[in-house]
């Protein structure tokens, strides 16, 4: 009888407390092992649980990538201080063969990115798959130079695309509007 009770409790706890399955249109379905700027390995689906603002960049970029990062920082600055940990910010390197964790760490430091940010590096196949899932396009023109979309994507807490916008200071406005609306709801609903 004791074994039956233990078995029931175990099956109940795994059913109730197991992570919910991701929807089929979640970009987290790309999966794979990724490495952070701190050289920690993570699974892409570990980003689930809160909205994420994500963009594909590379640290050697001197044109659009700095603008993309600054537009994402603008979204972060628009949030009330007590709400800033309710959304994650993710930058994914388009040049994993040269953007090693040490490089990503230096980039994050130079840009003043706080603990709400992750700078990720995957292998080339994972990066391509994630780019496709985000409707992004890129092409390595020559070593160290990449032509790429400058899209910033807001994902919901399950990794589904909510809105995409140009990663420019003025182009980010649709994301700002959605975030402002969503987080006004968070502020007014303390049960979240």
Which has the closest alpha carbon to 78: 162, 153, 172, 163?
172
121 three-state secondary structure:
strand
pLDDT for residue 65: 92
Pairing of strands 151-155, 52-57: antiparallel
Tell me, yes or no, if the pTM score tops 0.75.
yes
Which has the closest alpha carbon to 173: 159, 149, 147, 154?
154
pLDDT for residue 108: 97
Architecture of domain 23-188: 3-Layer(aba) Sandwich (3.40)
**What are the residue boundaries of the structural domains of the chain, listed by start?**
23-188
Radius of gyration (Cα) for the chain, nearest Å?
18
pLDDT for residue 188: 56
List average pLDDT for each run of 10 residues in the chain, which is 192 residues long: 38 41 94 96 96 94 92 91 91 93 96 96 95 90 80 96 91 88 62 47
pLDDT for residue 149: 86
Q: Distances from the Cα of 81 to the Cαs of 75, 85, 129, 155, 180, in angstroms?
A: 12, 8, 34, 21, 13
Q: What angle do CA 169, 172, 177 make, to 5 degrees?
A: 130
């Amino acid at each position: 009888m004791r074994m039956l009770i233990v078995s029931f409790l175990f099956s109940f706890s795994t059913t109730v407390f197991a992570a919910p399955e991701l929807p089929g249109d979640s970009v987290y379905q790309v999966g794979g092992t990724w490495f952070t700027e701190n050289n920690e390995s993570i699974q892409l689906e570990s980003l689930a649980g809160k909205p994420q603002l994500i963009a594909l960049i590379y640290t050697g970029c001197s044109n659009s990538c700095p603008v993309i990062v600054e537009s994402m920082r603008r979204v972060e600055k628009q949030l009330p201080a007590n709400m800033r940990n309710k959304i994650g910010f993710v930058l994914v390197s388009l040049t994993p063969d040269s953007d090693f964790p040490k490089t990503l760490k230096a980039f994050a430091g130079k840009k003043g990115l706080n603990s709400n940010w992750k700078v990720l590096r995957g292998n080339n196949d994972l990066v391509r798959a994630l780019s496709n899932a985000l409707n992004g396009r890129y092409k390595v023109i020559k070593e160290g130079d990449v032509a790429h979309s400058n899209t910033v994507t807001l994902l919901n807490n399950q990794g589904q695309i909510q809105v995409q916008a140009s990663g420019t200071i003025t182009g980010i406005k649709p994301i700002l509007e959605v975030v402002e609306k969503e987080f006004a709801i968070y502020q007014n609903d303390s049960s979240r």
